[in-house]
Amino acid sequence: MWNQEFDINYSTDELDFIAWLLAHGFEDTSWHNDACPSFERDNLRIYLDYPKDQADMGDAEWWTKYAAFHQIEYSEQDETKPAINTNSLVQLMNFLTDNLKEE
């Protein structure tokens, strides 16, 4: 669903990361009314904001490109406590490899 609803030019690294997520058991939880694609596994939902530069966000210090939230129950999440909020794909990947259960 993500590639149908979010036909945006993600970088090669981001496309490889999405392929990694799907290969490692993440489900595409993107929906047509979402602001950006999302993927979930083990009650952890990852969001990848659409491609833009931090400079495009002006003074929005709250904005990050990648975020992960623990799901509380179906379609609810603890938005007050992100598991990780970062602009670094490497930092997100390190978080996932350190914190996901082995399949």
Max alpha carbon distance in the chain (Å)? 41
Nearest to 39 by CA among 48, 26, 51, 50: 26
Question: How far is Cα 92 from Cα 10, in angstroms, rounded to an integer?
Answer: 16
pLDDT in tens, the chain (103 residues): 666 666 667 778 888 998 999 999 999 988 877 778 899 998 888 988 865 555 555 555 666 788 888 877 555 555 556 788 888 899 999 999 888 876 5
Indicate the domain borders of the chain. Answer: 1-52
> What pTM value is reported for the model?
0.76
